Structure 1
């Protein structure tokens, strides 16, 4: 009788083990398939990293402008800059020259430090300036006023990494060593001066010389005539 009872208990235990084993295996598999939580902060797209420091304060998010220097290079106005993005993983900057009355000028995908052309400045093949912002060439003469008048004498510039920061920068002045505006005497070969101005600066020299020579001849003749009359009277 005792043996029969033990046999029955053993059978019940084996059956229970068979029923519970698949559930336990499934639970173990499910637990293994769930990834561990990532405790590190992640970027919030184009901007700063979310997170807190060891004291629970938000991580810093700011843009520092370390260099902002308007310069003249080979008679070309340029802006030299260097920025530092605190709290951002981004490594490029977008520079926007803000036009208060029209379309902005955007220079994007730039390194965090470098030098850019002033809007409206144009370089030739040799790097020399051939056009300046705020000036236009008419009949070979430089005249103030063009579509880039708004970048002089100062202009607002927005730097975005992101974070972002806007500052006002002054147009670099001309000096004897470097011109940021066209010289008064500059004339391009394919834009000669009007005929009247050319005559005034050199082509009328020959007529003046001829007239002067004629006056000399007339004067000499008058002197000879006077001398002859004196001799006759004597």
Structure 2
């Protein structure tokens, strides 16, 4: 009997051990709900970056100027949102090729298109004029840059502004010497425009007040001269009569 019980106990122990081994080998599914998906909070998150800055371009200085009788455009621009460090200036021709000045610094000044200077900066030519036979004549291929012109400043982005041709002044002329800047649309191209300098005694210009005579000055009109001649003749005749009477008195005595 004792041996039988021992064998039965060993068999039961083996069965329990096998069941434990099988239970350990099987996947643990208890306590899980197959309808529940992965937790969204466990997925990696993405960082929210602000949108890139929009590039801007601002003109701090945009000033036509005259220096040494030469027309210039002075400028200074500030750009944001770009790594470009140079500016391109384009003079927009409404009816032909533009004038492009590329690779310029962000501030400085440039010659007005059509203006020409020598090595020392002295003026040789002005836009809107040409030299023919020693005479400056209005009209050339740069008529379109005056009296005003649109100018595009480009750094990426770009900016377009209107520049007025700098006027002449007593201290600085933006037109050839001996010429008068024409009114807009007058005279017609190809007409010489000499400087107006009336000589002494010339009639005053239209609208100028007439010269005022000095005090005591009397105009010598034709009637006045005739009167003076008649008065002089009367005085001579009276003198002759007086001499004749005096002679007769001496004879009577």
Q: Return the TM-score normalized by structure 1.
A: 0.55
Question: 3-state SS of the aligned residue for 2:65?
Answer: strand
Shift of 1:142: 0.7
Alignment-derived partner of residue 91 in structure 2: 97
Shift of 1:99: 0.4
What does 1:1-234 correspond to in 2, within 5 Å? 56-184=50-178
Shift of 1:61: 1.2
- Tell me the distance in 2 between the aligned counterparts of 1:166 and 1:144: 28
Please list every run of 5 or more consecutive structure 1 residues that lacks an aligned counterpart in the other structure.
Answer: 1-38, 40-51, 186-234
- Tell me the distance in 1 between the aligned counterparts of 2:105 and 2:151: 16
Question: 3-state SS of the aligned residue for 2:57?
Answer: strand
- Tell me the distance in 1 between the aligned counterparts of 2:118 and 2:174: 15
CA RMSD of aligned residues (A): 1.9
Shift of 1:109: 0.4
- The structure having more radius of gyration, on CA atoms, is 2
Question: 3-state SS of the aligned residue for 1:150?
Answer: helix
- Tell me the distance in 1 between the aligned counterparts of 2:173 and 2:52: 48
- Tell me the distance in 2 between the aligned counterparts of 1:130 and 1:62: 38
- Tell me the distance in 2 between the aligned counterparts of 1:173 and 1:183: 14
CA deviations over 1:118-146 (Å, ceiling 9, x no partner): 00000022211110000011111111100
Shift of 1:57: 4.3
The structure with the largest helix share of the pair is 1
Shift of 1:58: 4.0
Please list every run of 5 or more consecutive structure 2 residues that lacks an aligned counterpart in the other structure.
Answer: 1-46, 180-253
